[in-house]
Amino acid sequence: METTLHHQFKELFSGRGDNRKSVAIEAPLDGYRIDVLTDKAVIEIQHSGLAAIRGKVRRLAERHKVLVVKPIIAQKRIIFLESADGPVVRRRLSPRRRGLLDLFDELIHFTQELSLPRVGLVAALAECEEWRCPPTAASFRRRRRHRPRHEVLDRRLTRVIETRTITKGADLLRLLPCRDLPQPFDTGELAAAVGRCRSFAQRIAYCLVHTKAAQRVGKRGGAWLYRLPEFLAEPAA
């Protein structure tokens, strides 16, 4: 079942409030159901993993410009209901926080598609509400081994904080503090620059290399060294 969040993103990126005429939502195209179809691009809203739509994107990009919108939930307010149609009993903020850098967790599965000339990606940093209630009998029947503590009824967008459009590897560098990096650098130095663990920095380095935003230039001890082309090594926006 489509969540309110997904519907809101479709409305937002359709631009229908701007009196655009050539816009269709949930439109058929080349054997697929497209979230938003405009006169300029095919727009897909992908809340789950980017890996799930790689084949669809590759086939659509053979004939159309494709824009994949990837929402990143920066903050989530959880609203608990007494029952599915009952009153609100409490609210709390989820302790989990995410940022634009978390895009790299998904992008490692999408570097080949992003390198295609007709494919672009929009990272949309947003806040939302998640509405929950105690699990229904149907939920228990569906999950016999791991019985859920709650059931998610809906997710709703509260605001979009920021969007970044990425059409080439150079755009990824604007998510990073490039001036804080020595040239060349290893993933330990990259981890220190972004304030994340080294395994996360390794995912960033993978994405940079496979989108041609960085080059692997040798080793220092057992660590690979990377270099940013001079014309790409700009400060984060």
pLDDT in tens, 37-46: 998 899 999 9
CATH 1.10.10 maps onto the chain at 171-227
Tally of CB atoms within 10 A around 38: 20
Question: How much is the pLDDT for 234?
Answer: 45
Can you tell me the distance from the alpha carbon of 12 to that of 4, in angstroms, rounded to the nearest whole number?
A: 12
Confidence band, pLDDT 50/70/90 cuts, at residue 22: confident
pTM: 0.87
Q: Please give the average per-residue pLDDT across 22-42, as a whole number.
A: 93
Indicate whether 169 pLDDT > 90.
no
Q: How far is CA 173 from CA 63, 83, 170, 192, in A?
A: 28, 46, 5, 16
Q: Which CATH class is domain 171-227?
A: mainly alpha
Q: How far is CA 140 from CA 8, 80, 176, 200, 222, in A?
A: 30, 18, 44, 36, 50
